Amino acid sequence: MADMKSKKGTMLTKATVDKLTAEAEAGYDLTKAKRRKVRPGRPSLARGESPRISYRVAPSLLKSAEKKAKSEGRTVSEVAREALQKYVAS
Q: Would the pTM of this model clear 0.75, i.e. be above it?
A: no
**Rounded CA separation 76/67 (Å):** 9
- Residue ranges per structural domain of the chain: 57-90
- pLDDT, residue 1, reads 63
Structural contact between residues 69 and 78, judged by C-beta atoms closer than 8 angstroms: yes
- pLDDT, residue 49, reads 75
Parts of the chain with a pLDDT under 50? none
